[in-house]
């Protein structure tokens, strides 16, 4: 089922996760967009765009993914894998956002100390060799350039204003690289995890995040 991308303006239901969008053509040639309690009358145009957005929720800057199993990375090794991830959704008429909503049950957590920690969107995920069967996906590279074994229990990713990538059925964060040299450093590269995907806007990297509080 096609979710992301352009949808022609006509009477239809569009299912996005557990949410349902209803577009109704009115007798005078306008259209009404409905989603839960949101109502928008569209007076012109031909298409809507439904796009993934980073899971900022109530305006957080970071996504914290806690791993179901701790990863133990050998010295000098680089591992590749995937995480599931939450996503928000925006709907645009032309270049204007007419709706934004959160999919699933949103959770938040404090990462770090109470006085100087950061509020993050929280998500629990496995570490997968292949893409998980989830709407949102992160491709993760973990590099251990040290001479010691390193443990990875969670990863805190900068996401504010991040570009997103998408196919018709799935949403993807940019490629994320975690380097396990103290302090652990997370790089949202801004690069697509796969060359076949479309970008929501112009791609650019975000400032790296140093995971000062560990584990």
Using a 10 angstrom Cβ sphere, with 0-12 exposed, 13-18 middle and 19 or more buried, the burial of residue 215 is exposed
- Give residue 215's pLDDT: 54
Full-model pTM? 0.92
How far is 69 from 91, CA to CA, in rounded Å? 35
Altogether, the residues listed in the chain come to a count of: 215
Distance CA 125, CA 98 (A): 31
**151-161: burial string, b at 16+ Cβ within 10 Å, e else:** ebebbbbbbee
The pLDDT value given to residue 105? 87
Q: Which two tokens stand for residue 49?
A: 């765009």
- How does pLDDT run along the chain (215 residues), one tens digit per residue? 789 999 999 999 999 989 999 999 998 889 999 999 999 999 988 899 999 999 998 889 999 999 999 999 999 999 999 999 999 999 999 899 999 999 888 999 999 877 778 899 999 999 999 999 999 999 999 999 999 999 999 999 999 999 999 999 999 999 999 999 988 999 999 999 998 999 999 877 788 898 876 55
Q: How crowded is residue 118: how many other Cβ atoms within 10 Å of its Cβ?
A: 17
pLDDT at site 214: 56
171, 87 in Cβ contact below 8 A?
yes
Q: Please, which residues have CB within 8 angstroms of residue 82's CB and are 6 or more apart in sequence?
A: 127, 128, 129, 130, 131, 132, 137, 138, 139, 140
**How confident is the model over 169-213, as pLDDT tens digits?**
999 999 999 999 988 999 999 999 998 999 999 877 788 898 876
Residue 53 near residue 62, CB atoms below 8 Å: no
């Amino acid at each position: 089922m096609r979710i992301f991308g352009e949808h022609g303006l006509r009477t239809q239901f569009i299912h996005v996760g557990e949410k349902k969008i209803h577009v109704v053509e009115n007798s005078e040639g306008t259209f009404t967009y409905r989603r839960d309690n949101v109502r928008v009358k569209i007076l012109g145009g031909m298409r809507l765009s439904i796009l993934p957005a980073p899971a900022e929720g109530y305006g957080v800057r970071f996504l914290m993914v806690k791993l179901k199993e701790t990863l133990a990375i050998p010295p000098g090794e680089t591992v590749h894998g995937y995480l599931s991830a939450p996503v928000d959704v925006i709907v645009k008429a032309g270049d204007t956002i007419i709706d934004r909503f959160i999919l699933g049950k949103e959770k938040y957590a404090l990462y770090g100390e109470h006085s100087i920690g950061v509020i993050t969107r929280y998500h629990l995920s496995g570490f997968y060799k292949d893409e998980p069967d989830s709407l949102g996906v992160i491709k993760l590279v973990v590099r251990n350039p040290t001479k010691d074994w390193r443990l990875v229990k969670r990863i805190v990713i900068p996401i504010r204003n991040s570009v997103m990538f998408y196919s018709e059925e799935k949403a993807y964060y940019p490629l994320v690289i975690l380097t396990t040299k103290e302090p652990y450093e997370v790089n949202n590269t801004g690069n697509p995890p796969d060359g076949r995907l479309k970008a929501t806007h112009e791609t650019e990297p975000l400032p790296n995040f140093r995971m000062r509080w560990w584990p």
